[in-house]
Chains A and B, each alone.
Chain A
């Protein structure tokens, strides 16, 4: 299981998403590798990902993908993250 978090720079907000996704996965008892990346490298980094976590602004730029693209509104709300990750892979 691979989860990719996407933002414009590949640091910062995608880093927050990575850290919090890892916390949520642990809480849910799920195992996955979580990789933060920038939108420019989504094609290669997310080629084998099952889930992409990102903001609404990047959905169009991510383009066609086999991964579930999940939009997170509040990056610090681990309840929102848990609910959406569980719905996608739980």
Chain B
């Protein structure tokens, strides 16, 4: 199972964020830019952390920003933001974050293919550092699609 090709607009390499809100907003903006969500979805992703804490930092260095399916989601989408300077989310174990993945699903089950593909890529323990260190969108795509980078 592989990811559908990520559009250029869905990948932001080497961004700067002052704090976790800005980092999540960058991932949300990339989803909006790729036509998958409205700005309200970005705010919902931030509210998720305000309401429940930094649990979206699901692995060392990686945050999976997401919110509920709903009217704010037009299509299933994925975005990737890498940060030049790592950002603290306040997670007990997995801070600081250098890679933020934005995820949007139209229905609870419809996104499972994307999620399984993400697991395929990131179950390789070197993948997060590799994405964080990538300097081009193609490198990011290659790692997420499980292709080796030459």
Contact = CB atoms under 8 A, between A and B. Distances in A.
Interface of A: 7-13, 15-16, 18-20, 23, 36, 38-39, 55-58, 61, 73-78
A11 B54 contact: no
Interface in B71-121: 92-94, 103, 105, 108, 111-112, 115-116, 118-119
Nearest to A22: B116
B68 interface: yes
Contact of B119 (A20, A61, A73): A20
B119 A55 contact: no
B25 interface: no
Interface of B: 48, 51-56, 58-60, 62, 64, 66-69, 92-94, 103, 105, 108, 111-112, 115-116, 118-119, 122-123, 125, 128
A61 B94 CA distance: 21
B67 A13 contact: no
B148 to A, nearest CB: 18
Contacts of B64: 12-13, 16, 75
A57 B58 contact: no
A21 B121 CA distance: 16
Contacts of B105: 11-12
Nearest to B66: A12
B59 A76 contact: yes
Contacts of A12: 56, 64, 66, 103, 105, 111, 115
25 contacts: A9-B67, A9-B68, A11-B66, A11-B69, A11-B103, A11-B111, A12-B103, A13-B55, A13-B66, A15-B115, A16-B58, A16-B115, A18-B112, A18-B115, A55-B55, A57-B52, A57-B54, A73-B93, A74-B58, A74-B59, A75-B59, A76-B58, A76-B59, A76-B128, A77-B59
